[in-house]
Structure 1
Amino acid sequence: MKILLAEDDQRLGKLIMYKLKKEYDSVDWVQDGEAAYDYAITSPYDVLILDWMMPKMDGISVSQKLRQSGYHGGILMLTAKDEVPDRIYGLEAGCDDYLTKPFEFSELMARLRALSRRSIRMYQDSIIQIQDLHINQSTHEVIVNNQLIELTPREYQLLLLLAKNANYILSKDVIIDAIWGIDQYITTNTIEAFIGSLRKKLDTDNPKKYIQTIRGAGYKLVK
């Protein structure tokens, strides 16, 4: 099982890493929310352990953005918040489980094993197929006409968003909100540039044109 830990507390982070590496071969540790998002969107982790309060982006925001981007692995939230409304808020943000600090490591391990079993079941339905386009959400591989296409993390996010809403028109504002978030200053020119780059990669040596521009409305991926 491949695990990503996002925890900014140095002492706790080192301790969790020590315990995790005794059980699992592949464990990465980051110390802020932006790094957690970037790692998770570019590498197929089975389970993420996110601290609620982190620099740059909190765990709730990371969870929300990852779910919007198509991440289907398990998410376990670590936090000192133990009120019922906080737990509900975390679950509605896309978290699968919730562990309050301080906690016993035996309970952490048990919850990770449960999330791993759940993630394996979810990965069985992780392939999106549209015409000759195949998107593997567990590995982030994109295949067009039997050829592997290399995409940047943002291009992959954009393609996945369009594919999950195939035949529906997505405005530029909707795309910006889903991928970058409403707090980021992203111009419509940026969206046009990403669409242009994505089209070149998808349509090279391929007679089918997947992404259509709907003038004045936005873009859609055609089934």
Structure 2
Amino acid sequence: MPPAPETARQAVTPVVAVVDDDPLFRETVSANLAEAGYRAVAFAGGAALLDWLAQSNQPAALLLDWQMPEQDGPAVLEKLRQAGYDLPVLFLTGLNQPIFEEKGLRLGAVDFVDKSKSFAIILQRLRIALTAKVPTADAAVLPASGGLVLDVASARAAWNGHQVDLTHGEFKVVHLLAQRIGRDVGYREIYDAIRGAGFEAGHGPDGYRANVRAMVKRIRQKFRDLDPGFDAIETYPGFGYRWRHG
């Protein structure tokens, strides 16, 4: 049976949903979350989570396993988004190859954490996800360059009057580049804007570069789907990218 709906008093403590088919992992993570000041609500699979959410429960975040027997984590996340749930999702998985991280971020997860990391690392990533905000601006709508308009309040972008279907992380990248029009922005700064300062990913000290390249490639394609001639994002080889003037 899924847990009962949250009461007003229980909601004072931030609730973190945990979905993992390993009962020992669920128990361990739940206990660690309790010690850190959160209340974990654990599920063995995505179906139970969706039933619980349908009872008007609203967790602060979701820790989601990638590999599960009935529905894997990506399938669960897709169902969450299709159902309109916009809570921050962090994948916890032993699959540490960049291709899996790229897929998770493309689906709308805010983070991708190796299960072999200590709980202190998982907790840090959770706290970053819970406190991350889209950069504010003096106005909700920011005319950036050429045909780009950014609605900072809702994290939406438009190009020549048409909405660009960006994920939250992709919007952060576009917003960062648009704030620095005509100036070069390095791989590390772009990655930090998405994941938090100092986070390492991929193989070797510069492994994060592959993730940034893949994300920028996806962003460019989304703009080109609307405008085949889109060329506003320029590459500075070996360093990063810039949003050009005009």
- TM-score normalised per structure 1: 0.50
1:29 to 2:36 alignment:
no
TM-superposed deviation, 1:139: 1.3
In the alignment, structure 2 segments of 5+ residues that lack a partner are 1-10, 16-33, 40-55, 65-85, 91-107, 109-119
1:220 to 2:236 alignment:
no
2:170–2:219 Cα contact (<8 Å) kept: yes
Task: Find the partner of 1:56 among 123, 131, 141.
Answer: 123
TM-superposed deviation, 1:28: 3.7
1:145–1:206 Cα contact (<8 Å) kept: no
In the alignment, structure 1 segments of 5+ residues that lack a partner are 14-25, 43-52, 73-121
Give the partner amino acid of 1:200.
Q
Task: Find the partner of 1:140 among 152, 155, 159.
Answer: 155
2:147, 2:61 → 1: CA distance? Answer: 39
Aligned length: 143
Superposition CA RMSD, Å: 3.9
Q: 1:206 to 1:144 in 2, by over 3 A?
A: farther
Task: Find the partner of 2:140 among 99, 106, 126.
Answer: 126
1:143, 1:30 → 2: CA distance? Answer: 29
1:162 to 2:162 alignment:
no
TM-superposed deviation, 1:201: 1.1
Task: Find the partner of 2:14 among 7, 18, 21.
Answer: 7
Task: Find the partner of 1:183 among 182, 188, 199.
Answer: 199
1:147, 1:200 → 2: CA distance? Answer: 14
2:140, 2:89 → 1: CA distance? Answer: 20
TM-superposed deviation, 1:222: 1.6
- 1:78-118 per-position Cα deviation (integer Å, ceiling 9, x unaligned): xxxxxxxxxxxxxxxxxxxxxxxxxxxxxxxxxxxxxxxxx
TM-superposed deviation, 1:184: 3.4
TM-superposed deviation, 1:195: 0.8
TM-superposed deviation, 1:165: 2.1
2:185, 2:13 → 1: CA distance? Answer: 32
- 1:29-79 per-position Cα deviation (integer Å, ceiling 9, x unaligned): 32679997559xx8xxxxxxxxxx9x7237864476x24x42x4xxxxxxx
Q: Secondary structure at the match of 1:128?
A: strand
Give the partner amino acid of 2:140.
S
- Identical aligned pairs, as a percentage? 16
More helix by share: 1
TM-superposed deviation, 1:192: 0.9
2:146, 2:13 → 1: CA distance? Answer: 37
Q: 1:59 to 1:151 in 2, by over 3 A?
A: closer
1:212–1:221 Cα contact (<8 Å) kept: yes
- 1:96-143 per-position Cα deviation (integer Å, ceiling 9, x unaligned): xxxxxxxxxxxxxxxxxxxxxxxxxx7x70212121111111112211
Task: Find the partner of 2:186 among 166, 171, 192.
Answer: 171
TM-superposed deviation, 1:212: 0.3
